[in-house]
Structures are given as structure tokens and as C-alpha cells.
């Protein structure tokens, strides 16, 4: 299957360190060599930039360039693909992008959904993956009964219902963002870490690289990273429970939900 990565921060932050670790798993330290993608929202204009390639991230000059590029954002998503459904082609690389009521939404998925995912209008897949079909189904479902004017907690509930439905058809882990929030659902496997002062050093698990975050941050910075597997060896990442979801706004986890039905509005991310 695939691996996911997302960042949410309260100040424009680049994802170079984490993205570098992820790309190593795209054909070098991992088998996810069927394409990669990176999406980031411009912190000034809110515009969305998406870069995708159907080659192995670990050996891609473009991916290496992006791992060195100071692409600062409040919200970024990345993905490395191991094809389970759909051929190896650019159209099947994540993250996928659509507009919903004038908002740019991006989606990345790790999993394998069995059976038929209903198609509809106005959103339909361009490629032939279960992932893109699931994204279109989510947007069509929201389009039938939701609007951008809904509060984010109501939208969080709707996304949880969609995720639970798709998780009932197989393996479903996903990331969604519109540049104002990050939604993460861990059907089977996701990890999260929130970094805040006092910052410390972190060492990549897949490369001999260490960063001293105290040298590149301020005491007010808050950054939450969500990843399929922990990306560092000397930090404590929390595994999400099966069926757990998070809503992250400007680096803070503002809501969480578990498959047992318990919800915590305004979760204290210091526990991360």
C-alpha cells in the first residue's frame, strides 16, 4: 500500500525534514516506488500547489529538489504510492485535488477498498484507483447536504461518517485539507506528533539526518505532523487508535473522534 504525511502549523513552516524521510521509503528503505506527490497551500494567498510524479521518490531528482526547497506553508500533504488498485501512471498519483464550493481540497489515501464505490456527479475519478473514487464519493456525499457555511465541527462529523463507511469496505486511512484545517483518519495505521517549545533535536529513521528544531523555531511555534509510520527515532509518536480521527487547525488538535463514539472537542495537544 502507500504511506501518508501531513503538516499543520501556526506559522509558515517547511516540510523538508519530514518529506526527506518519507521519500527514502519511496523505493530505497521502503517498497512504495509507484509514484509520489506533494501538496501545499500558500500561506499568503491560500492558493494550492500540487506536484506529482509517477516515478520512485527515492530516486527522483524532482523529489530531491523539493526535499531541499524552502516551501513554507501552514498545511502540507505528501504521499508515496505502492499500487494496489490502478496502474502506475500520473493520473493515479496522490494527493488528488478538487474544488468544492470554490475551495481547493486535497486528499491522500493509504489502504485498499473492496467492492464498488458509488459514482456520481459532479465529482468523478480521472484515474482508476479506489483512492480517487473514495475522494469523489466523499465530495459528492458532502455536496448533497453540506455547505462551506457549516461549522467545522459539523463538517468533522460528516467526514467521520464518510470515513467509517469506507473503512467498513476495507482498509482506509486518509488525509484531507482545504488549507484551513487538516483532517486525518486512521482506520488501521497513522501516527501523530505535536512539536512545541521546548524544541529538541530529531533524527530521521530512514536517513542520517538530524535537525535541531530549537535553532529554527520560536517559542510560540506549534507544528503537528501526521504520518503512517514514525519518521524519527528519538521522538515519541502516538499511534492513533483503530478508527480514530483528528481535526488539526494551525498546529493544534482541536477535535478527535474514536470508533467507540467518544468525542473530545478541544483536545489538549500537549498530551502528544
pLDDT digits (tens, 9 = 90+) for 133-173: 999 999 999 988 766 677 888 899 999 999 999 999 999 99
Q: Residue 262: CB partners within 8 Å, gap ≥ 6?
A: none
Q: What is the pLDDT of residue 10?
A: 97
pLDDT at 267 over 50: no
Active site residues: 2
Give the residue, 36 or 44, on which the prediction is more confident.
36
Number of helices and strands in the chain (H, E) = 4, 16
- pLDDT confidence bin for 86, thresholds 50/70/90: confident
* pTM of the model as a whole: 0.93
Percent of the chain past pLDDT 90, that is, above it, reads 82
Q: What is the pLDDT of residue 119?
A: 86
Instruction: State the average pLDDT over residues 34-40.
Output: 96
DSSP lists the bridge partners of residue 184 as 175, 246
Give the residue, 70 or 139, on which the prediction is more confident.
139
pLDDT at 74 over 70: yes
Instruction: State the average pLDDT over residues 4-31.
Output: 96
Q: What is the pLDDT of residue 270?
A: 30
pLDDT at 272 over 50: no
pLDDT at 120 over 90: no
pLDDT at 243 over 90: yes
Q: What is the pLDDT of residue 71?
A: 86
SS3 assignment, position 154: helix
Which of 194, 198, 175 has the alpha carbon at shortest distance from 13?
194
* Mean pLDDT for the chain overall: 92
Instruction: State the average pLDDT over residues 172-193.
Output: 97
Cα radius of gyration rounded to whole Å, the chain: 17
Domain 3-271 has CATH 3.60.20.10: yes
Q: Tell me the domain boundaries of the chain.
A: 3-271
Q: What is the pLDDT of residue 261?
A: 54
Which of 193, 182, 184 has the alpha carbon at shortest distance from 272?
193
Q: What is the pLDDT of residue 70?
A: 83
Instruction: State the average pLDDT over residues 190-218.
Output: 96
Amino acid at each position: 500500500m502507500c504511506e501518508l504525511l501531513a503538516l499543520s502549523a501556526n506559522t509558515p513552516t517547511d516540510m523538508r525534514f519530514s518529506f526527506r524521510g518519507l521519500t527514502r521509503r519511496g523505493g530505497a528503505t521502503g517498497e512504495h516506488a509507484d509514484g509520489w506527490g506533494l501538496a501545499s497551500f500558500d500561506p499568503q494567498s491560500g492558493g494550492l500547489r500540487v506536484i506529482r510524479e509517477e516515478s520512485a521518490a527515492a530516486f527522483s531528482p524532482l523529489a530531491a529538489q523539493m526535499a531541499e526547497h524552502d516551501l513554507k506553508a501552514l498545511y502540507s500533504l505528501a504521499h508515496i504510492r505502492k499500487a494496489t488498485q490502478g496502474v502506475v501512471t500520473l493520473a493515479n498519483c496522490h494527493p488528488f485535488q478538487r474544488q468544492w464550493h470554490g475551495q481547493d481540497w486535497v486528499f491522500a489515501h493509504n489502504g485498499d477498498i473492496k467492492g464498488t464505490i458509488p459514482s456520481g456527479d459532479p465529482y468523478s475519478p480521472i484515474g482508476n484507483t479506489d483512492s480517487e473514487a473514495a475522494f469523489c464519493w466523499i465530495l459528492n456525499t458532502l455536496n448533497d447536504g453540506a455547505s462551506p457555511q457549516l461549522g467545522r465541527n459539523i463538517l468533522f462529523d460528516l467526514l467521520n461518517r464518510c470515513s467509517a463507511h469506507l473503512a467498513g469496505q476495507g482498509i482506509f486511512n486518509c488525509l484531507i485539507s482545504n488549507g484551513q484545517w487538516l483532517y486525518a483518519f486512521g482506520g488501521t495505521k497513522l501516527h501523530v506528533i505535536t512539536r512545541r517549545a521546548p524544541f529538541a533535536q530529531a533524527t530521521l529513521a530512514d536517513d542520517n539526518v538530524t535537525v535541531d528544531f530549537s535553532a529554527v523555531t520560536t517559542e510560540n511555534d506549534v507544528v503537528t505532523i501526521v504520518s503512517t509510520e514514525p519518521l524519527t527515532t528519538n521522538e515519541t509518536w502516538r499511534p492513533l487508535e483503530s478508527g480514530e480521527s483528528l481535526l488539526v487547525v494551525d498546529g493544534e488538535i482541536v477535535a478527535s473522534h474514536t470508533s467507540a463514539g467518544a468525542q473530545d472537542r478541544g483536545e489538549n495537544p500537549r498530551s502528544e
